[in-house]
Structures are given as structure tokens and as C-alpha cells.
Amino acid sequence: MTTAPDVLALQETDLALDKARARLRDVEAQTGEGEELIAAREVVAERQEVLKQLRSQLHDAEWSVEDARGKAGGVEQKLYGGTIRNPKELSDLNDDLSSLKTQVAKREDSLLGLLVEMEEAEKQLESARSALAETDAVWQREQASLLGEKARLEPEIAALETRRENQLPAVDAESMRLYQLLRERHRGQAVAGVERGMCQGCRIALPMSLVQKARSGGGLVQCVSCERILLVT
């Protein structure tokens, strides 16, 4: 015959199993790359791309400054070389030179602007990299601790499952149905202790005859109010 202590033993195993399995699910859900780490990595990639584009712009700007300087140099040579004497031609060359010099100055300005932008972009990349390193270090520590916890939980669950298997024969089919029903209804707490004639599940004062019956150990006795299985110790 199934007794209240038999059901209580099963309940303790089930509660421990529920807790361990829920924790394992949490641990497994947290294992793997977190959103923070992915986001930090994306920021680094974005800033690397910005810097790459600026480098290419800088390369073009350097070439364009050199080009304008070269052209201005050529015009200057013609202008002061003494081979050209025609005043109209000389005046045109002078205009060309001044417009080329303006162009050189403009291009040098934009080159300088790019150098400043690059310096800023390099700083931004550096700070994104150190943020990533920090996030990664935290993540590594968390993962190590989660994996350690998983390695403890898995054998713990296996041991509880074995214990449950061994406890099952003591609980007959009808008692099992009752236990499962109450377990669902009372968040795993199907068994209630009795203290000073009171059900510890719902705090109601129980009829003396019921307490006597529960004490005598003749099968399962339920609380008249919450219907939990009563255990008199």
C-alpha cells in the first residue's frame, strides 16, 4: 500500500528534478554567443570599413594634389623659362598658373581634412576594439562558469532520474494519478504536513478523526480543503 512518506519521497525527487532541469534549460539558453558580443564585433567591423574607405580617399587625394602640383610646375616653367615672349600667351599662362595654384591649395585643404578624419576614425576603431576585448573577456568567464554548471547538472539529473525510477514501485497507479493531479494544482507540493491538527498546505484545522486516520498510516488521507495528501510525523 502506498503511504504518504512514499509520495513525499517521490515529490522531493520530482521537485529537485524540476529545479535542476529548469536550471539546465537556462544554462543551455545562455550558452553560445550573446547579443552584446555580436554587437561589439559589428561595431569593430563597421569602423574598420570606415577607415578603409578613408584610406582609399586619402590615396586619391594625395594623387590629386601631386597631379595639380605637377601641372602648376609645368606652367611655371613655361612662364618663366624665357622661351615664350608673346604677351597674350604670357598673360594666359599667368591665368592658368593662378587657377592651378588655387586648385593645389583646395586639394591640399581637403587632404588635410581627410587626415584629421582618419585620425578620429583610428581612435574610434581603437575604442571599439577595446570594448570588444572587454565584452569578450566577460563572455569567456561567463561561458566557463556556465559550462562548469552544465557539467555538474547533467550527472545530478541522471542521479535523480535513477532515484525516481527506484521510488516508482512504491507508488501504485491510483496514488500516482492523485499525486500528479495535486502536483499540478499546487506547484509540485502534493503532500502537506500536519502540525497541531492543522494542514500545513492551506492552514485549515483538520477534523481529529482525519488526523487519526492519517497517523494510522492506512493509505493516503487528503486534506478536506486543499486535498493535499496529509503526512503526520
Q: CB of 11: closest distance to Zn ion in angstroms?
A: 15
Q: CB of 229: closest distance to Zn ion in angstroms?
A: 10
Nearer to Zn ion, 216 or 225 (CB): 225
Q: CB of 179: closest distance to Zn ion in angstroms?
A: 15
Binding positions for Zn ion, rule: CB under 5 A = 199, 201-202, 223, 225-226
Nearer to Zn ion, 90 or 202 (CB): 202
> How many other C-beta atoms can be found within 10 angstroms of the C-beta atom of residue 24?
17
Nearer to Zn ion, 34 or 193 (CB): 193
Q: CB of 199: closest distance to Zn ion in angstroms?
A: 3
Q: CB of 228: closest distance to Zn ion in angstroms?
A: 5
Could you give the count of Cα atoms lying within 13 Å of 10 in the half-sphere of its Cβ?
23
Nearer to Zn ion, 79 or 199 (CB): 199
Nearer to Zn ion, 11 or 201 (CB): 201
> How many other C-beta atoms can be found within 10 angstroms of the C-beta atom of residue 109?
12
Nearer to Zn ion, 100 or 223 (CB): 223
Q: CB of 202: closest distance to Zn ion in angstroms?
A: 3
Q: CB of 166: closest distance to Zn ion in angstroms?
A: 29
**Cβ atoms of residues 198 and 205 within 8 Å:** yes
Nearer to Zn ion, 20 or 220 (CB): 220
Secondary structure of the chain as H, E, C letters: CCCHHHHHHHHHHHHHHHHHHHHHHHHHHHCCCCHHHHHHHHHHHHHHHHHHHHHHHHHHHHHHHHHHHHHHHHHHHHHHCCCCCCHHHHHHHHHHHHHHHHHHHHHHHHHHHHHHHHHHHHHHHHHHHHHHHHHHHHHHHHHHHHHHHHHHHHHHHHHHHHHHHHHHHHCCHHHHHHHHHHHHHCCCCCEEEEECCEECCCCCECCHHHHHHHHHCCCCCECCCCCCEEEEC
The amino acid sitting at 113 is G
